[in-house]
Amino acid sequence: MVKGKRNKRSVRFIHADAYATFHLADFIYELMRGSIALDFDCREAKPGSDGLQDHGTKFRITPTMICRPYLKKERL
């Protein structure tokens, strides 16, 4: 996550957060807890058809919770 201030001509960056070492068990815990939402997007291939077209599975998480599934966190 990057935080900065903008004026008319430029942006001054205040800080950036860096995350490393993704931890699957913490990710699953946060999914079960409800802080990460699973968004499964599937629609009809063509209107009236029997087939489905997958538009992708996504995970939604708020910017304040993004650090939870990572073991290493650093503010730059």
Query: In a 3-state reduction of DSSP, which class is residue 59?
Result: strand
Average pLDDT over residues 21-38: 92
Domain residues for 12? 2-75
Contact between 36 and 64 under an 8 Å Cβ cutoff? The reply is no
Closest to 61 measured CA to CA, from 34, 23, 21: 34
- pLDDT of 5 > 90? The answer is no
Q: What is the number of domains present in the chain?
A: 1
Which structure tokens are listed for 10?
């430029």
Closest to 36 measured CA to CA, from 17, 52, 50, 22: 22
What integer pLDDT is reported at residue 71 of this predicted model? 93
* pTM for the structure as a whole: 0.65
What integer pLDDT is reported at residue 52 of this predicted model? 75
Mean pLDDT (the chain, rounded):
86
The confidence band for 29, taking pLDDT boundaries of 50, 70 and 90, is very high
Average pLDDT over residues 63-67: 87
